[in-house]
Amino acid sequence: MADDFLVSNDQYLNAGIQIGTKFKTDDMSPFVYKTRPDGLSVLNVEDIDERIRLTANLLSNYEADDILIACRRESGREAVRQFSDITGASYYEGRYPPGVLTNPELDDFVEAKLLMVIDPIPDKNAIKDAKIVGIPIVGLCDTNNDATDLDLVLPCNNKGRKSLGLTFYLLAKLYTEQRDMIPCDVWDYEVDEFIPQIMV
């Protein structure tokens, strides 16, 4: 199975994409491979790879300007910005104020047809808005997330900058390929471009 991964198994593991939390919800239990002796749950890399593909397939059914990504987590903002720069998708970083998707009177109103959230917990306001307008919701979910309001779950470490960088790198690559924007043989972006640098 690992031979068919989008990137090598080692690259997934080095990004920590599989590392969960010490809390595991019923919604996320099917994606958990094992629980380590220290109590951390580990997500199944095969499931992650498959769900990245499914997410890209879903996104590719939408024009980029019909997609809104909500990202309150600072560790995901560079990844989301790069995805937006490459694909043209809209994004909202920081605290999402209710009404962005529902109130046309707001200056930052966005008329989206699909919402993707980095973490359903801090991005709950965006999810509430998306439910009101009735658009599909994709959520990147760690082992501690509730997936009740989501139409598609992408299991991954949604807190780590390397994990989020790799996830959005792959989503951007697949989306642009499937939308005939950037063929895979001329794709020249690097994963590191999606990962914020640590200030020292």
Q: Can you read off the two tokens belonging to residue 144? A: 């501690």
Domain boundaries, the chain: 2-184
Report phi then psi at 88, rounded to 5: 95, 5
94-97: Cβ within 8 A, 24+ apart: 95/125, 96/70, 96/72, 96/123, 96/125, 96/126, 96/129, 97/125
Q: Mention every residue, 6+ apart, whose C-beta is less than 8 A from residue 143.
A: 20, 21, 23, 24, 25, 28, 31, 32, 41, 43
Give residue for tokens 């780590």.
160
Class at the top of the CATH hierarchy for domain 2-184:
alpha beta
Which residues are paired to 116 by β-bridges? 69, 138
pLDDT tens, N- to C-terminus, the chain (200 residues): 567 999 999 999 999 999 999 999 999 999 999 999 999 999 999 999 999 999 999 999 999 999 999 999 999 999 999 999 999 999 999 999 999 999 999 999 999 999 999 999 999 999 999 999 999 999 999 999 999 999 999 999 999 999 999 999 999 999 999 999 998 889 999 999 999 886 43
pTM: 0.95
